[in-house]
Structure 1
């Protein structure tokens, strides 16, 4: 990780760019935090258009991250400007990772890391020594565009073209920004940084670099504007706030009497924006140090009163410093006038002797009003004790709040933005932390935690959606702001969040806005059926049937393949039938689709459903034509077999001609035979002799086919059982009748399911007698015989097979 080449000083970066992008609910449109009035924040951020960041950059090495937390390194703010290990990466973000320790050890480590900087003045709190400027160099540039720089370098054009064609190439952006910094080319830098921030506004380190470039070229007002844009993009960045305030202090007009108020207003705005962040300690300490430098001890106490009730990482250290502040200063100086008077009155009443006590020693005349030094010292000590005592209760409550959040905070290992994917443990930690805060925290703390989460998890739409749903109870504009930022900046190609945004706008009555959202999403990622269908449903809900039909027809025309076109054809046909009541147009759409995609069974099924929707008696010819079209198509045998079975079912239920029914059944049996033949071929191997393989085929085929027929008999229309003889009534449990199913002599015992093997396949109507064997327990004869059928003379493993009508019957005695 590299810095910008300039030394940085400051305390350990316990914040990092780990936070979201709104001062409480300010940016979300919720009035939980009021805006300070002492400063004007009107600089509008450039509208982001369709950026996205993806995982194409490596994280800083473990050794570099470990260095950030060394107690000897108080320059982590400088190191933290970069967390992306691109080639000679100029620095993007602060690692901000916490020391991996538990309980109080975590706090003690953080305390030790900041002890060295406790007594530093605000001038020593600079996070980077900005280049000092002469009065001539500091003169404001009213129009930055007035500077006519030379033509852009050729190498710049090449590098910019790479990221322009692929904005998701983060390494390409790193090369580009590194190049413009080295070339010191102002116009090239402006163009590159402005384009970069449309896609990656959470990289706070680059905002600092951009401002430094403007400042280096003497454009102080432009540098100030860059800082303001950055703080609007990522207002929960403690580092960026400290950089900005340092910039203001370095470039303030010392002769201006309002300079101090402007700096104080900036600190106030900073603590309102990110002061409730768990890692905001450095900002509070800088604020306290600056007020101390100004000699405003009462203001110092007021700042301590605010930080002592906020759960932060260094909460205990703040209380210790507050006690030192109280013990080393006179209460008259560090308390407000109101509190000082009230405290003196309380102490005086507490120490006032009661009426029953003996009168004290009389003082000499003229000395009654002289102060007693001992009493004066005692009063001061009592006031100090009282001041600390009143804050002790607040501290105890805050310590309890910290303890409830400590495990969650310790689990946050990457609080800054990165294009690399987060580990599952990190994502789970954020989910659990958010759920805890939603249940136990105040609305302000919930919003701040959401904003922090969205820095680290900016590329995960689940957290944006969760945030938007939470804000629905508070602010419509807040929800709109979150959806807009997610869809236009961080997740321009994620359909789910776009669909939810469009639905939200439609709920609010902004139909045109919803149309625009869906259309923009479809343009960004063409071919998403879910987006096209949502556009169709939007138009249908608002009565624009022609537009809905046009969208579906466009989907048919522009489909990438026949399957996609058929999908939209089915959708269009259903709309024409169910909504527009136009069966003729729907049938035409499906027939045209069938001609282009003859192997798609869904088209034939929808065509059949369309014909079924009318009078089946009148539409019998059309329905049979649909079946015939499907059976003659190049669909697979299995699919054609399904349509054949349905055709038989239809004729059985609604057919008017028995000849057609018998013909359909025979056609179905031919398909079954073909399927079985293919199945045997696929199951047989070439290692066994043909004779042995034939016997095995016959046996397995017999039992398998019969079992299928049996199952069909139990569940369907029993087409395969038309000509079978049912078992005789009154048979005992072990009495069996073995029936050979029609067409093929595949036999199985109807009652006990014993398989009967045979040596040859029989054909209906052939009287050839074949010997088969029964592979089961001994079979007993039925109570009632079957006259006219051949029987064996005695119980035996051999039985006779004889044709009868269209099938064979086998009885065992």
Structure 2
């Protein structure tokens, strides 16, 4: 039966696409799951919520009062009446407080079943199946519950809802058919028509499944019970062409069926007349050699004994049967080859049903390998058919009187293509909690039908993967790529409601609005995130940097960006990235008016509770800026002296910190595409890798005045060891402190 146990269905925090791993750990915090899954916001289309896909078959009609999208039965007045069992509320609260705990749900369902309380059982089953709709065994329990209560219509409705969700369930189809057989008045002429219609729906949905043998057998036996042996033969002809686990038993049953009745009863009129004519011609040819002897021995005037009108001789009947088996044997041999191709793939699948416990890697690889092979077979057959258009038709005509392979079904989809769909849907039953298989199915469907791909995204995100953020963001990207920005916004908004506080979702929303040309809305989203994260300093700093970059780079408003960073520094004065971004903002302005702002940033950083390494970094950059853009030598020398004091004070600490420190922001170059690239200091191998803490001695005989001192500073500035502090590219030093992300 469908499974027990639980996999953590809440999404792990994931990774930010643009920021550093350190910030990811802060920004992407684990979020407790909500108390209930929100229902889909709009009705599903066709069979978007089923296990078989809308492209495969048209499901039985659902009564108008049933809501297929929410998978819950209509509200009944009696549900509000009567007392619930004593422990129901406790178990109900435990399941709803932690809806990802499968065991809590099964405990609740088991308790309701033990109490035989229909209202409690109905309420629990509705809530459970809304969250775990692939558990076909509980749909059967639900239908049985309603039937025992005398609600045959409700029992049928439950089966229909279950089959919309998981139409590949052979067990559920058989349960539904048996329910109809037990409740319909078969003396009414419309009842057999309805049963046959349900059988055809079942075959369209699950008939190509490798494990559909019991369903085919039930169909054959039912047709025999109706006394229509020709219809039973037609069903057997169809299953003989389908690779199933018990393919050989179907051929044995066909032979038994053929030998149990006269050919005229089991064959279609057209096939029977054709084979009868061929066999009679063969009989005449065989008797031609004996004709002369028989004529001589026969008394004059006596003619050959005639076969009774309307009845074939035993010899002719046997010949017809032999010809039928010759034709079917070709189909059987071809089908046996298809089974052999698939057998090792099927044998590798140990858990074809839904289970909340995780699958091992071997099982996941088995599904991927099977899908690879089936898609490759489809591509190969398509290529062969395009090269020889007559080959497929010839194979179909030789295979059987009613070819199925290579033809098109009622849905208009080629059978080979339906095999791929069936396999994907089978895979999504066993692997419903794995995003990779949903994504792969979407990639297969999207080139064929955007609407089918959209329905698949809706099924994945609204039913099975409500707490997996990656597939939701893929859905939003899909909608944006196809021009439906409103739907993309809705997907991201719903995801943020389900997983509040997930930074990557807020950034994706802001990015969507920016790409749509709504810069004000993008700014508003980031400002809201800044305001909401004020109690989490690291996350607040992260959003503040994002907002400041937007205002500076796209809004062309350095003043607003400066205010954002300064306010963030009041909350997180020890955040080096905030200081670095503010310094970048200042140095990117007009040098004639930015000197004061740059030095203010440096002074603020030196006074902040930052590490010695970072403080020396800021001091170096302040000195570099003064050297490049300073208006007076006195200001340069003053800054140089302050830098020297800082080196003497913190140099020892700096030396230990920079030893093998690959995470030094100065050693990371921020590329335009957002990638942080490690930079190796350009230090000659002959020079010791030790930072200079004092300027080198002046050249002998040089002037020790201010000019001489400045000459000494210049001499120090040109030392190779200066590269130890990251000034390898002094002409482009802005890249050096662009915050890694």
Against the structure 1 CA distance between its residues 271 and 725, is the aligned structure 2 distance closer, same or farther, given a 3 Å change threshold? farther
Provide the residue aligned with 1:592 in structure 2: 567
Gap regions ≥5 residues in structure 2? 4-43, 379-415, 659-679, 700-711, 714-719, 721-741
**Conserved? CA contact 1:24–1:444, under 8 Å:** no
Q: Secondary structure at the match of 2:470?
A: helix
Provide the residue aligned with 2:38 in structure 1: none
Question: Within 2, Cα distance between the matches of 1:344 and 1:383?
Answer: 6
Question: Within 1, Cα distance between the matches of 2:354 and 2:605?
Answer: 56
Question: Within 2, Cα distance between the matches of 1:450 and 1:208?
Answer: 24
Question: How far off is 1:304 after superposition?
Answer: 1.5
- Residue 457 of structure 1: which of 431, 455, 462 is its match? 431
Question: How far off is 1:663 after superposition?
Answer: 3.9
Question: Within 1, Cα distance between the matches of 2:191 and 2:71?
Answer: 40
Question: How far off is 1:658 after superposition?
Answer: 3.4
Question: Within 1, Cα distance between the matches of 2:339 and 2:540?
Answer: 58
Question: Within 1, Cα distance between the matches of 2:452 and 2:50?
Answer: 7
Against the structure 1 CA distance between its residues 367 and 44, is the aligned structure 2 distance closer, same or farther, given a 3 Å change threshold? farther
**Conserved? CA contact 1:25–1:32, under 8 Å:** no
Is 1:388 matched with 2:346?
no
Provide the residue aligned with 2:730 in structure 1: none
Provide the residue aligned with 1:509 in structure 2: 483
1:336-415 alignment, distance < 5 Å: 336-350=268-282, 352-353=284-285, 360=292, 361-362=294-295, 365=301, 367-368=303-304, 370-371=306-307, 376-415=313-352
Is 1:489 matched with 2:463?
yes
**Conserved? CA contact 1:572–1:586, under 8 Å:** yes
**Conserved? CA contact 1:454–1:463, under 8 Å:** yes
Provide the residue aligned with 1:756 in structure 2: none
Provide the residue aligned with 2:590 in structure 1: 615
Provide the residue aligned with 1:433 in structure 2: 370
Is 1:530 matched with 2:504?
yes
Question: How far off is 1:399 after superposition?
Answer: 1.6
Provide the residue aligned with 1:13 in structure 2: none
Question: How far off is 1:280 after superposition?
Answer: 1.0
Q: Secondary structure at the match of 1:499?
A: helix
Q: Secondary structure at the match of 1:433?
A: helix
Question: Within 2, Cα distance between the matches of 1:46 and 1:416?
Answer: 25
Against the structure 1 CA distance between its residues 282 and 24, is the aligned structure 2 distance closer, same or farther, given a 3 Å change threshold? farther
Q: Secondary structure at the match of 1:564?
A: helix
Against the structure 1 CA distance between its residues 408 and 28, is the aligned structure 2 distance closer, same or farther, given a 3 Å change threshold? closer
- Residue 188 of structure 2: which of 237, 253, 256 is its match? 256
Provide the residue aligned with 1:127 in structure 2: none
Provide the residue aligned with 1:677 in structure 2: 652
Provide the residue aligned with 1:636 in structure 2: 611
Question: Within 1, Cα distance between the matches of 2:681 and 2:625?
Answer: 21
Question: Within 1, Cα distance between the matches of 2:144 and 2:121?
Answer: 11
Deviations, residues 98-150 of structure 1 (Å, cap 9, x unaligned): xxxxxxxxxxxxxxxxxxxxxxxxxxxxxxxxxxxxxxxxxxxx996468741
**Conserved? CA contact 1:208–1:243, under 8 Å:** yes
Is 1:470 matched with 2:470?
no
Question: How far off is 1:624 after superposition?
Answer: 2.1
Q: Secondary structure at the match of 2:105?
A: helix
Q: Secondary structure at the match of 1:198?
A: helix
1:794-805 alignment, distance < 5 Å: none
Deviations, residues 124-183 of structure 1 (Å, cap 9, x unaligned): xxxxxxxxxxxxxxxxxx996468741323421222122122211211111211122222
Is 1:548 matched with 2:522?
yes
Deviations, residues 54-104 of structure 1 (Å, cap 9, x unaligned): xxxxxxxxxxxxxxxxxxxxxxxxxxxxxxxxxxxxxxxxxxxxxxxxxxx
**Conserved? CA contact 2:537–2:572, under 8 Å:** yes
Provide the residue aligned with 2:400 in structure 1: none
Question: How far off is 1:365 after superposition?
Answer: 4.7
Provide the residue aligned with 1:101 in structure 2: none
Range moving further from structure 2, 540-549 or 425-434: 540-549
Against the structure 1 CA distance between its residues 539 and 148, is the aligned structure 2 distance closer, same or farther, given a 3 Å change threshold? closer
Question: Within 2, Cα distance between the matches of 1:678 and 1:573?
Answer: 32
Against the structure 1 CA distance between its residues 358 and 416, is the aligned structure 2 distance closer, same or farther, given a 3 Å change threshold? closer
Question: How far off is 1:201 after superposition?
Answer: 0.4
Question: How far off is 1:345 after superposition?
Answer: 2.6
**Conserved? CA contact 2:242–2:335, under 8 Å:** yes
Question: How far off is 1:720 after superposition?
Answer: 7.5
Question: How far off is 1:354 after superposition?
Answer: 11
Question: How far off is 1:351 after superposition?
Answer: 5.1
Question: How far off is 1:347 after superposition?
Answer: 3.1
Question: How far off is 1:244 after superposition?
Answer: 1.1
Question: Within 1, Cα distance between the matches of 2:170 and 2:208?
Answer: 11
Question: Within 2, Cα distance between the matches of 1:553 and 1:715?
Answer: 48
- The alignment covers a number of residue pairs equal to 597
Is 1:246 matched with 2:182?
no
Against the structure 1 CA distance between its residues 346 and 651, is the aligned structure 2 distance closer, same or farther, given a 3 Å change threshold? farther
1:36-51 alignment, distance < 5 Å: 40-41=61-62, 46=67
Question: Within 2, Cα distance between the matches of 1:415 and 1:304?
Answer: 26
Provide the residue aligned with 1:655 in structure 2: 630
Question: How far off is 1:678 after superposition?
Answer: 3.9
**Greater Rg by CA:** 1
Provide the residue aligned with 1:226 in structure 2: 158
Provide the residue aligned with 1:570 in structure 2: 545
Question: Within 1, Cα distance between the matches of 2:505 and 2:71?
Answer: 17
Deviations, residues 736-775 of structure 1 (Å, cap 9, x unaligned): xxxxxx99xxxxxx9xxxxxxxxxxxxxxxxxxxxxxxxx
**Conserved? CA contact 2:606–2:615, under 8 Å:** yes
**Conserved? CA contact 1:28–1:477, under 8 Å:** no
Deviations, residues 23-46 of structure 1 (Å, cap 9, x unaligned): 99995997754538xx64556864
Q: Secondary structure at the match of 2:87?
A: helix
Question: How far off is 1:680 after superposition?
Answer: 8.7
Question: How far off is 1:230 after superposition?
Answer: 0.9
- Residue 171 of structure 1: which of 103, 115, 123 is its match? 103
**Conserved? CA contact 2:51–2:165, under 8 Å:** no
Deviations, residues 178-226 of structure 1 (Å, cap 9, x unaligned): 1222222222222111111110101111111111111111111111111
Q: Secondary structure at the match of 2:593?
A: coil
Against the structure 1 CA distance between its residues 318 and 26, is the aligned structure 2 distance closer, same or farther, given a 3 Å change threshold? farther
Against the structure 1 CA distance between its residues 176 and 551, is the aligned structure 2 distance closer, same or farther, given a 3 Å change threshold? same
1:40-189 alignment, distance < 5 Å: 40-41=61-62, 46=67, 145=77, 149-189=81-121
Is 1:315 matched with 2:247?
yes
Q: Give 1 or 2: higher helix fraction.
A: 2
Question: How far off is 1:578 after superposition?
Answer: 1.9
Question: Within 1, Cα distance between the matches of 2:207 and 2:64?
Answer: 22
Against the structure 1 CA distance between its residues 416 and 28, is the aligned structure 2 distance closer, same or farther, given a 3 Å change threshold? closer
Question: Within 2, Cα distance between the matches of 1:194 and 1:503?
Answer: 32
Against the structure 1 CA distance between its residues 540 and 462, is the aligned structure 2 distance closer, same or farther, given a 3 Å change threshold? same
Question: How far off is 1:601 after superposition?
Answer: 1.6
Question: Within 2, Cα distance between the matches of 1:563 and 1:600?
Answer: 8
**Conserved? CA contact 1:22–1:234, under 8 Å:** no
Question: Within 2, Cα distance between the matches of 1:530 and 1:715?
Answer: 44
Question: Within 1, Cα distance between the matches of 2:585 and 2:576?
Answer: 14
**Conserved? CA contact 2:229–2:265, under 8 Å:** yes
- Residue 284 of structure 1: which of 191, 216, 229 is its match? 216
Question: Within 1, Cα distance between the matches of 2:686 and 2:246?
Answer: 77
Question: Within 1, Cα distance between the matches of 2:175 and 2:288?
Answer: 64
Deviations, residues 426-467 of structure 1 (Å, cap 9, x unaligned): 111111111111211422111111111111111111111111
Against the structure 1 CA distance between its residues 430 and 29, is the aligned structure 2 distance closer, same or farther, given a 3 Å change threshold? closer
Provide the residue aligned with 1:110 in structure 2: none
In the superposition, the TM-score normalised over structure 2's length comes to 0.73
**Conserved? CA contact 1:616–1:654, under 8 Å:** yes
Range moving further from structure 2, 468-477 or 505-514: 505-514
Against the structure 1 CA distance between its residues 509 and 478, is the aligned structure 2 distance closer, same or farther, given a 3 Å change threshold? same
Provide the residue aligned with 1:300 in structure 2: 232
**Conserved? CA contact 2:52–2:166, under 8 Å:** no
